[in-house]
Amino acid sequence: QVQLVESGGGVVQPGRSLRLSCAASGFTFNNYALHWVRQAPGKGLEWVAVISNDGSNKYYADSVRGRFTISRDNSKNTLYLQMNSLRAEDTAVYYCARDVVARPPYSGMDVWGQGTTVTVSS
Stretch that binds other proteins, among 23-31, 71-79, 84-92, 113-121 (CB under 8 A): 113-121
Q: How far apart are CA 29 and CA 40, in angstroms?
A: 28
Contact (Cβ atoms closer than 8 angstroms) between residue 4 and residue 72: no
- Cis check: omega of the bond before 105, within 30 degrees of 0: yes
Sites for other proteins among residues 76-95 (CB under 8 A): 95
- Per-residue HEC secondary structure of 60-77 comes to ECCCCECCEEEEEECCCC
Is residue 100 a contact point for other proteins (CB under 8 A)? yes
Reference 63, options 34, 99, 88; nearest CA is: 88
Is residue 108 a contact point for other proteins (CB under 8 A)? yes
Is residue 107 a contact point for other proteins (CB under 8 A)? yes
Binding mask of the shown chain, residues 10 to 49, with x at each position contacting other proteins by CB under 8 A: ---------------------------x------xxxx--
- Point out which residues bind other proteins (CB under 8 A): 37, 44-47, 50, 59-62, 95, 97, 100, 105-110, 112-115
